[in-house]
């Protein structure tokens, strides 16, 4: 059964969308290339939203010249046709297209690689806050046939399955004989993310016999019709398949639930990006980025099955495995669906956290919680000295407090819980970075 996203009304910071935009004399107004996860449906839906916001009429999509390509077309009131092209052949193709000047905006379901960053230096710093835009959160769901009895797998088992080391369902305590592995193709950001989060960390390549797909929908449908199948897919594409709970290291088993993906606690959560070249960018590209970050744009994100970057307050059930301090907070307060994370090897907030800061402040203002209604809880990765881990986690919370204080927020409390309650394994940099986080609780 497809996982559905519940869109809740919330307050977003105001992102201005420039209007009206210039119309080109010939050719498309905007060219987007990259991720199939974004480009199959979400990208065209955001483009339609922008075009309608711009007052264009009869906005519709048509197939492009190739497979997984679309043209979104609208008309001005004066009858001039405006076209935006979306090509969805995988995240890496977006960066290649930026370099070749055959695209104005790259859509990516993974962060830009260092090699791509160097390649694109002539266009400006694509890791700057203006260039690297997180547009949505997604979770990689691990999917099985609906009748498969397994409900939980850990990331170590996933690496062994997708590498071919574990080749039968019986080896996992299930039934069904040989395992059939399904995966996205090499151009896919979804595959890059899975490779990064699961395979590379354990030094394992993908099994040579895996069935590969460019299309997310086709992969999901193939798994849902194969009792021996297993695959990985973006959250909106679970469709008729069954998603299982995932464990990473000492984390709790986590399903690909909206709240766990929004906070990026779910082990296979990931960010979806637009990359906007800072140097001489197309005004339609900047307008699409701004529209995507607006309330209307994020509503489209949610309507397309991804997790919008809205701030909600959710109740958390205290569990005996939680530290006593944390249980006390959970009993009296609600947790906001945002975690502040940091640039690698730094105490500086990352690009998503800087945007989230605006969203949190807007939420606090609209709910009258600026004065001693907020507690920050910092966490970190394991250290040889638990006291050092606790201190560093509190320092991270204090870094967030500094930013909130600039926006007239008076905090109730700050806690540092060190390496307790990990959400990822501490055996690799990626897991340690994920564990270095600050939660926001409101009373």
- State the sign of the Cα–Cα–Cα–Cα dihedral 196, 199, 200, 201: positive
Whether 5 has a pLDDT exceeding 60, the answer reads: no
The CATH class that applies to domain 311-442 reads: alpha beta
Confidence of residue 10 (pLDDT cuts 50, 70, 90): very low
| Mean pLDDT of the region 290-294 | 96
pLDDT at 396: 94
pLDDT tens by residue, 152-188 = 999 999 999 999 999 999 999 988 999 999 999 998 9
- Does residue 4 have a pLDDT over 60? no
Sign of the C-alpha dihedral, residues 355, 360, 366, 372?
negative
- So what's the pLDDT on residue 428? 74
For residues 203 and 144, the model is more confident at 144
Q: Are 96 and 106 in contact (CB under 8 A)?
A: no
Q: What gap in Å lies between CA 73 and CA 79, rounded to an integer?
A: 12
Tell me the average pLDDT across 88-93. Answer: 96
Report the mean per-residue pLDDT for the chain. 92
The boundaries of every CATH 3.40.190.10 domain in the chain are 30-135+272-303, 139-262
Q: How confident is the model at residue 280 (pLDDT cuts 50, 70, 90)?
A: confident
Beta-sheet pairing, 57-63 with 69-75: antiparallel
CATH 3.30.1330.60-classified regions of the chain: 311-442
Q: Which helix (H) or strand (E) holds 59?
A: strand 57-63
* Least reliable range by pLDDT among 75-89, 239-253, 379-393, 405-419: 379-393
> How would CATH label the architecture of 30-135+272-303?
3-Layer(aba) Sandwich (3.40)
Smallest Cα–Cα separation from 363: which of 336, 328, 400? Answer: 336
DSSP 165-192: SS-BGGGGT--SSBPEEEEE-TT-HHHH
Interval 312-329: pLDDT, tens: 999 999 999 999 999 999
d(CA 374, CA 350): 21
Amino acid 189: pLDDT? 84
* More confident: 111 or 2: 111
Mean pLDDT to the nearest integer, 392-407: 96
Ramachandran sector of residue 354 (left: φ over 0; alpha: ψ -120 to 50; beta: rest): alpha
| Two structure tokens written together for 243 | 């998603």
Q: Mind listing the pLDDT tens digit for each residue in 330-344? A: 999 999 999 999 888
Instruction: Give me the pLDDT at residue 19, please.
Output: 59
Mean pLDDT of 387-402: 94
Residue 214 has pLDDT above 90, yes or no: yes
pLDDT band at 12 (very low <50, low <70, confident <90, very high): very low
- Helix H or strand E segment including 314: strand 313-314
Is pLDDT above 70 for 17? no
Chosen CATH of 139-262 out of 1.20.1440.230, 3.40.50.300, 3.30.1490.190, 3.40.190.10: 3.40.190.10
- Work out the number of other CB atoms within 10 angstroms of the CB of residue 383: 16
Give the pLDDT mean for 89-112: 97
Asked whether residue 137 carries a pLDDT value surpassing 60, the answer given is yes
Q: What pLDDT is attached to residue 209?
A: 95
Q: What is the pLDDT of residues 344-357, one digit of tens each?
A: 877 789 999 999 99
């Amino acid at each position: 059964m497809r996982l559905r996203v519940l869109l809740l009304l919330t307050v977003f910071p105001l992102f201005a969308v420039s209007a009206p935009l210039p119309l080109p004399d010939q050719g498309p107004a905007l060219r987007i290339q990259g991720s199939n996860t974004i480009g199959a449906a979400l990208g065209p839906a955001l483009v339609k939203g922008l075009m309608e916001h711009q007052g264009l009429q009869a906005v519709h999509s048509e197939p492009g010249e190739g497979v997984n390509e679309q043209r979104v077309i609208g008309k001005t009131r004066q009858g001039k046709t405006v076209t935006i092209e979306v090509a969805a052949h995988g995240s890496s193709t977006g960066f290649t297209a930026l370099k070749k000047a055959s695209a104005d905006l790259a859509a990516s379901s993974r962060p830009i690689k260092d090699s791509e960053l160097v390649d694109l230096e002539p266009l400006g710093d694509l890791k700057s806050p203006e260039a690297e835009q997180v547009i949505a959160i997604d979770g990689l769901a691990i999917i099985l046939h609906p009748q498969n009895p397994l409900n939980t797998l850990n990331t170590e088992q996933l690496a062994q399955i997708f590498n071919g080391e574990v080749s039968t369902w019986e080896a996992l305590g299930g039934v069904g004989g040989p395992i059939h592995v399904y995966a996205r193709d090499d151009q896919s950001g979804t595959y890059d993310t899975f490779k990064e989060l699961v395979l590379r960390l354990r030094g394992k390549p993908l099994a040579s016999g895996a069935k590969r797909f460019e299309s997310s929908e086709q992969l999901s449908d193939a798994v849902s019709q194969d009792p021996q199948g297993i695959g990985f897919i973006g959250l909106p594409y679970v469709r008729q398949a069954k998603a299982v709970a995932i464990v990473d290291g000492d984390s709790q088993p986590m399903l690909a639930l909206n709240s766990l993906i929004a906070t990026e606690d779910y082990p296979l959560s990931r960010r979806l990006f637009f990359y906007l070249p800072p140097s001489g960018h197309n005004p339609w590209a900047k307008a699409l980025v701004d529209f995507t970050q607006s309330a209307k744009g994020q509503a489209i994100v949610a309507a397309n099955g991804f997790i919008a970057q809205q701030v909600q307050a959710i109740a958390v059930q205290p569990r005996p495995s939680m530290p006593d301090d944390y249980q006390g907070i959970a009993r009296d307060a609600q947790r906001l669906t945002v975690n502040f994370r940091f640039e690698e090897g730094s105490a500086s907030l990352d690009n998503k956290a800087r945007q989230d800061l605006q969203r949190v402040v807007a939420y606090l203002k609209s709910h009258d919680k600026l004065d001693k209604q907020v507690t920050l809880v910092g966490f970190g990765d394991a250290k040889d000295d638990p006291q050092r881990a606790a201190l560093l986690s509190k320092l991270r919370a204090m870094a967030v407090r500094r930013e909130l204080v600039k926006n007239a927020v008076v905090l109730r409390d700050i806690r540092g819980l060190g390496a307790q309650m990990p959400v990822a394994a501490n055996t690799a940099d990626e897991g340690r970075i994920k564990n270095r986080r600050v939660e926001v609780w409101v009373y």
